[in-house]
Amino acid sequence: MTACDLEQPVENTMKNSLNSYLKGSQLVAIAVMLFAVSIVGASETVLPKCQQDIEPTVRVAPIYPADIRIAASEEEARHVRWVVVEFTILETGRTADLLVVESNSVLFHRSAKRAISEYHYGPQESACIHRDRVTYLVK
């Protein structure tokens, strides 16, 4: 028996292990994709977008994070930070399902979502999806 004869079974065993691993990971990937599709497909209806000109009847000013120095005006601001939040306006005019969709600073996500969660809109005929931008002036 030569060294080459011993290497062959080891090489085949490694190939078989790799192939079974790949098959297992492919099955996991497929299961994850199917689960994601089932969640997305589980939503009952897709809500329409709200009217572009809709404005809140109550708009709550965002609270700046503690470490941030607030600028009094745009001229004084060195940086402008913003967060765009997409949310549902319910029939009652309350907001729900807030999701940050754009931002130039992660530091303001929580503050923007908290402020928009307290917005009130007039009663709606049906729930709709809306986006609003919260701007922060920072020294």
Over residues 9-28, the mean pLDDT reads 52
- pLDDT at position 97, please? 96
Quick one: 68 and 128 in the same domain? yes
- pLDDT at position 89, please? 96
Quick one: 100 and 136 in the same domain? yes
Quick one: 62 and 94 in the same domain? yes
Q: State the burial class of residue 49 (Cβ atoms within 10 Å of its Cβ: 0-12, 13-18, 19+).
A: exposed
Over residues 34-56, the mean pLDDT reads 68
**Element counts in the chain: helices (H) and strands (E):** 2, 3
- pLDDT at position 13, please? 55
**Domain enclosing residue 107, as ranges:** 47-139
Quick one: 24 and 52 in the same domain? no
User: Which comes out higher in pLDDT, residue 43 or 128?
Assistant: 128
- pLDDT at position 15, please? 52
Confirm whether pTM is higher than 0.95. no
How many domains does the chain contain in total?
Answer: 2
Reply yes or no on whether the pLDDT at 18 is more than 50: no
Locate 41 and state its tokens: 């497909």
Quick one: 53 and 94 in the same domain? yes
